[in-house]
Amino acid sequence: MKHKGIVDAQKEYVISMRREFHKNPELSWNEARTSKRIKEELDKMGIPWEPCAKTGVVAIVEGARPGAVAALRADIDALPISEENDVSYKSQNDGVMHACGHDGHAAMLLGAAKALSEIRNELAGTVKLLFQPAEEKAGGAKLMIEEGALDGVDAIMGIHLWNDIPSGKINIQTGPRMASGDCVFIDFIGKGGHGSLPNQTVDPIVAAASFVMNSLAMLSREKSPLESVVFTLGEFKAGSRFNVIPEKAHMEGTFRCFSEEARKRTGDAIRRYAQETAKTYRAEAAVSIVEAMPATINDSGVVETVKSVAEKVVGGENLVHQDKTTGSEDMAYYLQKIPGAIAFVGSGSGEEGFTFPHHHPKFNINEESLANGTALYFGFAVEYLRQNS
Amino acid sequence: MPYNYRIRGGGIMSIRELAKEYKPYAVKIRREFHMHPEPSMKEIRTSDRIIEELESMGIECKKAAGTGVVGIVEGKGPGKTIALRADIDALDLQETNEVPYKSQNPGFMHGCGHDGHAAGLLTAAKILKEKSHAFDGRVKLLFQPGEEVAKGAKKLIDEGELKDVDGIFGMHLWNDAPAGKVSIEAGPRMASAGIFNINVTGKGGHGSMPHQGVDAVVVGSAIVSNLQSLVSREISPLDPAVVTIGIFNAGTRFNVLAGEAYLEGTTRCFSMEVNDAFESQIKRVVEKTAESYRAEAVLDYKELVLPTINDPAMAAIGEKAVGKIAGKDALISYEKTTGGEDFSFYLKEVPGAFAFVGTKNEEKIPLYPHHHPKFDIDEDALEIAAALYAQYALDFLNQ
């Protein structure tokens, strides 16, 4: 790989930045310190930046000649989790923890920025660095886009450090990678009354329970068995007393799909099951679907570019297959707008004890993975501009 | 002829006449109880006052079942024992009636008519004491605490108060029937009430990965749905039965798979057979449904009250008694109700009957249902209540 030396030289810097971010985690939309430190580091590198989406940062590495625009995205927020790791860089912010690897994302993108700034004279085109807040709250990417972060951008790549994949390996695949995640709120409205006189009431609990059972047929009967859809009702709350039939039953849930078409169809089906089941029981259903995250769908062209870089970084034999997951990622919003891809960079290693899943209080990453991620960010930008400028 | 015979117009005063004479007493004491309502099993002032009243009538009495009172009116010779029961507790309800006898105890109210039951039985005690020459055996007066929480009757039975009793009679002042009318039919009159809760244990997880967990919302819903077949398919269409789930609580967040669900409900029925079967039927549906979804569910079932079923012979005595004190037209037929009564526990021990004594009179008192903050009764019914208690005792003992 060209410039291997320049990228390798960032290794210690990236690890130290990652540990600094890990020690000082901040919740979604509150990444004030993180944001400030990113700006300071960019200033040291001589890279111009603009604040974006409150606590986000957009930096520009301008090549010597005009050309295409590639964006690199790193999310920077932490989670409301109390860290249980005993490490020198343990969270100093009680109840908040970088338990998903975003500390690594931010550090790797700073490392890549440093390397890119050193070779900018060789570049034709522009690299936009997106340090994005509030991925965990699914709003960061949206606001970044609204504030123009994607303006003029031709392609985007993001990375997620991934503990299910051993360090040293990378997953980059075309098509749906993560699911959409939308919220459903349903009130079944019946008619309350005494539990001993059900005939004078319309029991919303029976209607709601029936809806839960009926709606499952949507998954077993209505969609192709080859297609993946998730529907979960996480909350079912109704009633105040054993012998009183309540006025309504409240439910909240989520559904996950891998295409916009499935997303619309599933939302429509949920509405239909709720309303028609309610009517069957002489009740009413008030259904509200709050669209949250779209599915994360990698563009095949961008994937080819990322793949070619990844082969150079870890070797073709270390590109691994990984099934798409039903989790969601707000990288999806960028991919809805422009061609792009998210790569999963392996950060796990059973032998070394990095076995705890993402969002676990003992989550930690194998820091060896940071060099791979840094090289992938850097390499993609260079390669994309080379191919498209 | 003992000295305390009272004669009017050349004859011995009948129970009907005595009840009329003592009506002001009944109203006065009912209003006193109404002003001083007390919660179930804490009827301290009420029971103290009942004792004072009985003692002033010369009736032997004692506290029982905590804040209950048992009094004995001995007849002229040995014979059977009839128990007359009045419940005396109030409700945790804020009265909104503007009447001179409005509750003086904020947050508590006689919103079910038990003030009238206690007053009716005290008045009957006065009548029976005066008529003690007219019967053999004895009348046991049961002023029962804690009906609303279904504890009082059980406690009186546990204390052995029914051991020497041959029959029992009780009543409920009833706002759904006109004042002046009484229903005392054979067979089921009020429903059983069971209370149960179900704890479903599945396995929590992320809402996006349902296959890694066991969804307690689905299991709970399946239980609710499957329980519907008990009433519709297992219990005879001729046996009225109710299974209601009043509470369904599961989950913490829209995208977290609920690991547990909590359900609470009630049952009602009118026959001992249906009542006895409920627990095992619900248990089977609950446990097997949960198992079929790889979950576990535990049922906790308690009988609050049994069905109130009138013994035909005992009901017949009552119907005749109503004719004597209020005329034949006073008897009405009234459909059994799904409300419950802990009088049912007595009926399991001894033959008995339970009457509904009408208190509705919209010309005098705005009509509100029992347990309503504006509930009130036509006090004319107190005269009938007192007379019916006394006449029933006399007729039972003289039969």
Look over chain A and give the mean of its residue pLDDT values, rounded to a whole number: 95
Q: Are residues A91 and A214 in the same domain?
A: no
Contacts with A179 from chain B: Cβ below 8 Å: 208
> Using CA atoms, how far apart are residues B268 and B285, in angstroms rounded to an integer?
17
- Cα B64 to Cα B55, B155, B284, distances in angstroms: 15, 9, 40
Contact A234 B256 (CB under 8 A): yes
Sheet containing A124-132: order of strands: A49-52, A56-62, A124-132, A65-75, A155-166, A340-348, A170-171
Q: Return the residue in B92, B196, B217, B286 with the most chain A beta carbons within 10 A, the one to mutate for interface testing.
A: B217
> Using CA atoms, how far apart are residues A312 and A382, in angstroms rounded to an integer?
13
Helix axes A102-118, A369-388, angle to 10 degrees: 50
Residue of A nearest to B245 (CA): A242
Task: Report the pLDDT value the prediction gives residue A350, as an integer from 0 to 100.
Answer: 60
Q: What stretches of B229-283 adopt beta strand conformation (E)?
A: 241-250, 256-257, 260-269
The structure tokens listed for A285 are 């259903």
Average pLDDT of A188-216? Answer: 93
Of B222, B242, B255, the CB nearest to A234: B255
Q: How do residues B60-119 score in pLDDT, each as one tens digit?
A: 999 999 999 999 999 999 999 999 999 999 999 999 999 999 999 999 999 999 999 999
- Grade residue B7 by pLDDT with cuts at 50, 70 and 90: low
- pLDDT above 90 covers a percentage of chain B that reads 90
Contact present, A384 and A308 (Cβ < 8 Å): no
Q: Are residues A34 and A92 in the same domain?
A: yes
- Beta-bridge partner residues of A60: A128
Active site (annotated) includes residue B74: no
- Grade residue A189 by pLDDT with cuts at 50, 70 and 90: very high
The total domain count for chain A is 2
**pLDDT at residue A51 greater than cutoff 90:** yes
- A→B contacts (Cβ < 8 Å), by residue, are 179, 181, 183-185, 194-198, 203, 205-206, 208-213, 216, 230, 232-246, 249, 252-254, 256, 325-328
Contact present, A153 and A96 (Cβ < 8 Å): no
CATH code for the domain in which residue A265 is found: 3.30.70.360
Q: Are residues A72 and A101 in the same domain?
A: yes
The rounded radius of gyration (Å) of the Cα atoms in chain B is 24
Contact A234 B252 (CB under 8 A): yes
Domain boundary pick from A249, A269, A293: A293
Q: How do residues A265-286 score in pLDDT, each as one tens digit?
A: 999 999 999 999 999 999 999 9
Q: Are residues A125 and A22 in the same domain?
A: yes
- pLDDT above 90 covers a percentage of chain A that reads 87
Nearest CA distance, B94 vs chain A (angstrom) = 19
Active site (annotated) includes residue B147: yes
Nearest CA distance, A183 vs chain B (angstrom) = 7
Contact present, B270 and B308 (Cβ < 8 Å): no
Q: Are residues A63 and A205 in the same domain?
A: no
Q: Is B221 touching A (CB cutoff 8 A)?
A: yes
Work out the end-to-end distance of chain B between its first and last CA atoms, rounded to an integer number of angstroms: 22
Checking phi first, is residue B294 left (phi over 0); if not, alpha (psi -120 to 50) or beta? left
Q: How do residues A235-253 score in pLDDT, each as one tens digit?
A: 999 998 898 999 999 999 9
Contact present, A324 and A179 (Cβ < 8 Å): yes
Number of H helices, E strands in chain B: 10, 18
Contacts with A181 from chain B: Cβ below 8 Å: 208, 255
Least confident among A204-213, A346-355, B305-314: A346-355
**pLDDT at residue B11 greater than cutoff 80:** no
Domain boundary pick from A293, A311, A331: A293
The rounded radius of gyration (Å) of the Cα atoms in chain A is 24
Nearest CA distance, B138 vs chain A (angstrom) = 38
- Grade residue B8 by pLDDT with cuts at 50, 70 and 90: low
Q: Are residues A166 and A312 in the same domain?
A: yes
Contact A243 B195 (CB under 8 A): yes
**pLDDT at residue B2 greater than cutoff 70:** no
The structure tokens listed for A345 are 């960079």
**pLDDT at residue B23 greater than cutoff 50:** yes
Which residues span the domain enclosing A187?
A: 181-293
CA angle A254, A99, A83 (to 5 degrees): 120
Contacts with B250 from chain A: Cβ below 8 Å: 235-237
Question: Considering B38, B43, B130, B147, which one is annotated as catalytic?
Answer: B147
CATH 3.30.70.360-classified regions of chain B: 193-305
Domain B193-305 has CATH 3.30.70.360: yes
Average pLDDT of B275-296? Answer: 97
- Cα A90 to Cα A21, A25, A97, A107, distances in angstroms: 10, 10, 9, 16
- pLDDT above 70 covers a percentage of chain B that reads 97
Contact present, B297 and B197 (Cβ < 8 Å): no
Q: Is B212 touching A (CB cutoff 8 A)?
A: no
Of A184, A234, A239, the CB nearest to B253: A234
Average pLDDT of B273-282? Answer: 97
Q: Return the residue in B242, B248, B293 with the most chain A beta carbons within 10 A, the one to mutate for interface testing.
A: B248
Average pLDDT of A226-243? Answer: 93
Give the CATH fold of the B7-189+307-398 domain: Aminopeptidase (3.40.630)
- pLDDT above 70 covers a percentage of chain A that reads 98
Q: Are residues A286 and A166 in the same domain?
A: no
**pLDDT at residue A353 greater than cutoff 80:** no
Contact B208 A256 (CB under 8 A): yes
Q: Is B51 touching A (CB cutoff 8 A)?
A: no
- Grade residue A8 by pLDDT with cuts at 50, 70 and 90: very high
Task: Report the pLDDT value the prediction gives residue B206, as an integer from 0 to 100.
Answer: 83
* Amino acid residing at B179: A
**pLDDT at residue B297 greater than cutoff 60:** yes
Task: Report the pLDDT value the prediction gives residue A358, as an integer from 0 to 100.
Answer: 85
Q: Are residues A323 and A358 in the same domain?
A: yes
Contact B208 A327 (CB under 8 A): yes
Task: Report the pLDDT value the prediction gives residue B6, as an integer from 0 to 100.
Answer: 60
Contacts with B191 from chain A: Cβ below 8 Å: 196
CA A247 to chain centre: 38
Residue B257, φ and ψ in degrees, nearest 5: -70, 125
Of B224, B242, B254, the CB nearest to A183: B254
Contact B251 A233 (CB under 8 A): yes
Helix axes A32-45, A102-118, angle to 10 degrees: 20
The residue written with tokens 């003086």 in the block is B104
Domain boundary pick from A250, A271, A293: A293
Contact B244 A328 (CB under 8 A): no
**pLDDT at residue B3 greater than cutoff 60:** no
The residue written with tokens 């929480």 in the block is B149
Q: How do residues A103-130 score in pLDDT, each as one tens digit?
A: 999 999 999 999 999 999 999 999 999 9
Tell me the DSSP string of A316-367: GGGB-----BSS--THHHHHHHS-EEEEEEEEEBGGGTB-SPTT-TT----T
Look over chain B and give the mean of its residue pLDDT values, rounded to a whole number: 95
Q: How do residues A157-171 score in pLDDT, each as one tens digit?
A: 999 999 989 999 999
Q: Are residues A84 and A171 in the same domain?
A: yes
**pLDDT at residue B12 greater than cutoff 70:** yes
Q: Are residues A162 and A115 in the same domain?
A: yes
Q: How do residues B105-155 score in pLDDT, each as one tens digit?
A: 999 999 999 999 999 999 999 999 999 999 999 999 999 999 999 999 999
Contact A212 B339 (CB under 8 A): no
CATH code for the domain in which residue A299 is found: 3.40.630.10
Q: Are residues A216 and A160 in the same domain?
A: no
Q: How do residues B163-214 score in pLDDT, each as one tens digit?
A: 999 999 999 999 999 999 999 999 999 999 999 999 999 999 888 889 889 9
* Amino acid residing at A207: A
Burial of A133 by CB count in 10 Å (0-12 exposed, 13-18 middle, 19+ buried)? buried
